[in-house]
Amino acid sequence: HDGRFGEVGNYSSTVDESCDGPNLAVGDLDEVVAMHQCARKCTGVCTTPSCHCDGHFPGFDLPSSTALCLPTAQCQHLCDLLGDACSGVDAHATLPRCFLKAAGACAATVPVLGYVAMAKEVEEPAARRLDGQLMGHSTGEVLRFTGMDVSCAGEYKVCFCDSTLLPERTTPTVCSMAQDFSVDVGVLHVSYLGEALQVPSRRSANCQSQFHGGLTCNAPPAVVNVRNETMPHP
C-alpha cells in the first residue's frame, strides 16, 4: 500500500510553479481517489506512515478541499487512471501532498513557491500499448507494482486490501491496519535462481513473464488417467 501503484506516464515538471487551471473536485471522482483526500483521511482516523498525513494542513484542508495526501508518483498514477479528465498534477516539493488538475488546466503555469507543476505528456495510443494494454500501467483487470525489492529468498504470502470490504469504522474507510489486508492474493516465491527459471523447461509450473520483471505462474493442469470403461451415474 505504501509503495508505488505502478509505472506512471511521462510528465514535464516546472519547479515553483502551479498549473494555471482548476483542480479536479475530489468529491466527484471515484472512491479510489476520494479516499486519499487529506481532509477526509487525516482527521485523526488514519495515523500510520502509509497514510502520508504529513501532507495534511489542518485548518486549511476543509471538507471541500481538493488536496490529496499522497507521494508524487502515486498522484501521477491516479492522474493516469483518470485518462483525459486529468491533465497533470500540482505536487508539493517536499511533502506528500498534491492536486489533480482538470482537462486543459496545465496549458499554462503560474508562480507558486514550494510546488511543482507536472503536465501530463500526451502520447499516441499506439506508442503506449502492448497487446492491447497500457505498457507498464495498471488496468481495470491487472494491478502492476514496481520499485519493490525483497532481499531474502523464500516464500511470502501476498495480501491485498480492498477498501470496499472493510468493516464500517469511523470514517474515512482506508487501508491502515494489518487486519485490513484480508484478500489472499497468492504466494510470492523469491529465488536466487531467477535467470535459470526464465527457461521454461526448468520450471514445474505454467509461467509468463511480467512487464516489470519476474514471472507469474499457475500450477500445471493435473494429468488424469481415465480407463476405457463405463462411468457410473452420480
CB 82 within 8 A of CB 72: no
pLDDT in tens, the chain (234 residues): 333 344 567 899 999 999 999 999 988 888 888 889 999 888 877 778 888 999 999 989 999 999 999 999 989 988 888 888 999 999 999 999 999 999 999 999 999 999 999 999 876 544 444 443 444 566 556 666 666 667 777 778 888 777 777 766 545 556 777 777 888 877 777 765 555 455 555 455 666 666 666 666 666 554 444 343 343 444
Rounded Cα distance, 71 and 61, in Å: 17
**Which cell numbers in the block locate residue 215?**
514471472
pTM of the model: 0.57
C-alpha closest to that of 13 among 116, 151, 106: 116
